Amino acid sequence: MAYSRRRFLKTAAAGLSGFGLSSCGWTLAKVQTDRAIATSSNELHIYTWANYIDQELVDTFRTKTGINVVFDVYDSNETMLANFQAGKAKIYSIIYPSDYKVSQMRDLGYLTELDHLRLEGLSDLMPRFQTSIHDPGNRYSVPLSWGTTGLIYHSEKLKDAPTDWNYLWDNKEKLTRRFTLMNDVREVLGATLKSLGYSYNSTNPAELQKAYDRLRELKPAIATFTTDAWRDQLLAGDLLMAMVYSSDAGLAIGQNPKLNYVIPASGTSLWVDTMVIPKTAPNPDAAYAWLNFMLQPEVAAKLTERLSFATTNQAAINRLPEALRSNTTLFPPTAAIDKSESIRPMERDVLEAYDRYWTKLTS
């Protein structure tokens, strides 16, 4: 199992405390209905990022519905989509793409339009997640988690704390071979574009060329491009800094409070991870049972506490401890959000230009 973005916590199930059948708002009739689903197919296959499911979640769902969950993880949206297009993902009834991939998968005809009459709890989502530029009205996806992309660093080893993307270029000699960038073309080029004062989603050929040239200047100092392998190296002190997702940063800081996470002052990307039902889903009824389960505030709150990611569910946020609600790594201030951008879908020719620069940079 690859460790990657939203890294998986190997937490053993600690019983089902806090997840009584009545505490989550599931009536006996609801449970019996979902158990009936399982009589025809008692297995639900899920394809997800690595730290969105743990054993306690799986055990609780099985207790309530009789449905066994089998899940596999991927390390990038591109890997997920490539496996889907290759026909290797037809066993999955739930997939967790990021928001900008939802629109692409929808346009390719891969997703089932959701029946909102079968879903309970969509109204509990924060207002900003009631709709999306990628999926207006959440017709094809249910937002699960959100966050930012930024820099995590060791505060004892870097006394002058970074505040923006330019720090990488201004301090490349000190950082040489001791920091990593993501293995993600849109994030890395986007951050570099932002450091130049451009949009994270620029389609301007001249701006893309400048971003590539700037990255080429930085490349000798970069230890590697990775979305996952930075964590153990940073905890061990072999790395000084890494470009990471906020949810991964929260997990690492939980292991070493001397690590700090910074949202670059000029702005960054705002990502949202979602849950969708593919048209090829072998068990759509169980998929709806899973979506309803995940929309319950009690379930979402407990999962956020255990796996340290920012839920999209306002009713769940209201249940979180104050220390977690005020954690700016997970729930950034409005000023940081206002300067940031969602990763937007792009025309094919623009994406090909991004990919050409990425291939040259990483080869």
Q: Residue 350: pLDDT above 90? A: yes
Angle, vertex CA 210, rays to CA 205 and CA 211, nearest 5: 95
pLDDT at position 1 is 31
pLDDT band at 273 (very low <50, low <70, confident <90, very high): very high
Length of the chain: 363
Q: How far apart are CA 189 and CA 201, in angstroms?
A: 9
Rounded average pLDDT over 213-219 = 98
| 139-156 pLDDT tens trace | 999 999 999 999 999 999
Q: How far apart are CA 146 and CA 153, in angstroms?
A: 21
**Strands 269-275, 341-342: parallel, antiparallel or unpaired by DSSP?**
parallel
pLDDT band at 359 (very low <50, low <70, confident <90, very high): very high
Rounded average pLDDT over 191-219 = 98
Query: In this predicted model, which residue has the larger pLDDT, 44 or 251?
Result: 44
pLDDT at position 242 is 98
Decide: helix, strand or coil at residue 124: helix
Q: How far apart are CA 118 and CA 277, in angstroms?
A: 13
| 161-178 pLDDT tens trace | 999 999 999 999 999 999
Rounded average pLDDT over 193-198 = 97
Cβ neighbours around 201 below 10 Å, total: 19
pLDDT band at 92 (very low <50, low <70, confident <90, very high): very high
Q: Residue 32: pLDDT above 90? A: no
Structure tokens at 123: 């109204």
C-alpha pair distances (Å), 220 with each of 172, 208, 223, 296, 363: 9, 20, 8, 48, 13
> What's the mean pLDDT when you consider all of the chain?
88
> Residue 35: which of 60, 62, 70 has the closest Cα?
62
| 50-64 pLDDT tens trace | 789 999 999 999 999
Q: How far apart are CA 33 and CA 100, in angstroms?
A: 34
Q: Residue 9: pLDDT above 80? A: no
CA 216, chain centre distance (Å)? 27
What values do phi and psi take at 271, rounded to 5? -110, 155
